A and B are shown apart, each in its own frame.
Chain A
Amino acid sequence: MIRDAKLWTWHVLAGLVIFVFLGLHMLIMHLDDVVRIASLNPAGGHPIDWANVVARGKMIFFPITYTVLLGAALFHGLYGLKNILFELNLGDGVKRATAVVLALLGLGLFVYGTWAAFASLALARSL
């Protein structure tokens, strides 16, 4: 069984990853007037203009960062949820079952999200 010291450390690190990648999201999508990263919005104009969306969709950088962000967010959120549930004074059996269900849920969502991220890359490159 993984001990809480490790899980908590990963929880904090995942929070840091979320902070960095959400910061990147803010820079690219919402602060483009302040910090213009031309290579990520090559068509100019607004970041959600179709040409920019397609251009970003063709970059391998995005599926990779989506996957990392998804993994971090899932771990951070589900570990937090597990702690909240465990504080309800569940029995040992229910605790184990809860941990397994949350781990499987996280794994399933991670696989599905990763597939979706890379499928979008293939879709964008086919346009």
Chain B
Amino acid sequence: MDFANVKEVTYRVRRFDPDKDTAPHWEEYRIPYAPGMTVLDGLWLVKELHAPTLAWRSSCRMGVCGSCGMLINGSPRLGCNTQISELASTTVAVGPLPNFNIIKDLVPDLMPMLETHRQLLPFIVRDDHEEMEKPSGEFWQSPEELEHYLQFSYCIKCGCCMAACPTYATDPVYSGPMPLAQAHRYNSDSRDNGFAHRRQVLEGERGPWRCHFAGECSRVCPKGVDPAKAIQLMKRELVVDYFKLREQRCPARLAETPKGVVRREGIPEAPAPTVG
């Protein structure tokens, strides 16, 4: 569709105020359109021109914070990252992310997702508690080791994958793609030694076993993360671990500062360590 001559677009917005409404309903607003407008820009115009009480979450406006996940023309996307022109329609239907309770209008309650995420220890777990509490340096990691988890670390926890997952939609026990992919991200990190802790949850019914591999999570991810792949890799890792074949990994050691070397001329000083 050619948007060159489009002057106005229609926003169909799913509204719900728990203080007034018993069920969500749709409302329509006409707003002026200008080239380059994102769905989020349009929502601001709707709020300014028609519906001052309209509620949604947003912050960075550049696809980084993960706040503005919403259902746009039937697909979970980031409002700030979606050009109206790419929807190929002058009607923009915006609703809250499915599979979550609605707090108000376009604001989903992400707490169940974040609570599951927290339970899967989404951080580096190591036995050297003193180093973790009072870091004295940086852990050594090769570029190859970084590749094992790098793409999964791009996740911004927007919840789009959870909204697209058919298993999460129907099975309240299933942890969902985001927490599972993040558990895999840390299990795959050479600095981490928390596999045994995460396994307590992952090898049970809240683990990856109920994933039907529909792949919708990976299709809708606005950051190009592939949670479906992480879940399959996690299954493989847990099966290998069941057969006691998982490689026992010593978490990465502290990187030592090179000694007895002289900097060549013209090579700038490395930036100061971020810790220590």
Contact A4 B207, beta carbon cutoff 8 Å: yes
Kindly supply a per-residue 1/0 record for chain A positions 1-33, scoring 1 wherever the CB is within 8 Å of any chain B CB and 0 otherwise: 001111111001000000000000000000000
A34 → chain B, closest Cβ, in Å?
A: 33
Q: Which residues of A contact B167 (CB under 8 A)?
A: 87
Contact A87 B170, beta carbon cutoff 8 Å: yes
Q: Does A65 contact B (CB under 8 A)?
A: no
A57 to B20, alpha carbons, bound, how many Å? 75
Contact B171 A9, beta carbon cutoff 8 Å: no
* From B171, B202, B235, B242, contact of A6 by CB (8 A): B242
A6 to B203, alpha carbons, bound, how many Å? 8
Q: Does B172 contact A (CB under 8 A)?
A: yes
Given A87-B170, A87-B171, A89-B170, are A5 and B242 neighbors across the interface (CB < 8 Å)? yes
Contact B171 A12, beta carbon cutoff 8 Å: no
Q: Which residues of B contact A87 (CB under 8 A)?
A: 167, 170-171, 210
Contact B170 A3, beta carbon cutoff 8 Å: no
Given A3-B204, A83-B210, A87-B210, are A8 and B239 neighbors across the interface (CB < 8 Å)? yes
Q: Which residues of A contact B207 (CB under 8 A)?
A: 4-5
Give the tally of cross-chain contacts (CB within 8 A): 36
Nearest chain B residue, comparing its CB with the CB of A8: B209
Q: Does B70 contact A (CB under 8 A)?
A: no
* From B172, B203, B205, B243, contact of A89 by CB (8 A): B172
B237 → chain A, closest Cβ, in Å?
A: 10
Contact B171 A89, beta carbon cutoff 8 Å: yes
Q: Does B68 contact A (CB under 8 A)?
A: no
Contact B171 A5, beta carbon cutoff 8 Å: no
Q: Which residues of A contact B171 (CB under 8 A)?
A: 87, 89
Q: Which residues of B contact A12 (CB under 8 A)?
A: 239
Contact A4 B170, beta carbon cutoff 8 Å: no
A45 to B209, alpha carbons, bound, how many Å? 47
Q: Does B238 contact A (CB under 8 A)?
A: yes
A16 → chain B, closest Cβ, in Å?
A: 12
Contact A9 B242, beta carbon cutoff 8 Å: yes
A5 to B237, alpha carbons, bound, how many Å? 10
Q: Which residues of B contact A4 (CB under 8 A)?
A: 203-205, 207, 209
Q: Which residues of B contact A83 (CB under 8 A)?
A: 209-210
The CB with the most chain B CB atoms within 10 A, among A8, A83, A89, is that of A8
A5 to B209, alpha carbons, bound, how many Å? 7
The chain B residues found within 8 Å of chain A, CB to CB, are 167, 170-172, 202-205, 207, 209-210, 235, 238-239, 241-243
The chain A residues found within 8 Å of chain B, CB to CB, are 3-9, 12, 83, 86-87, 89
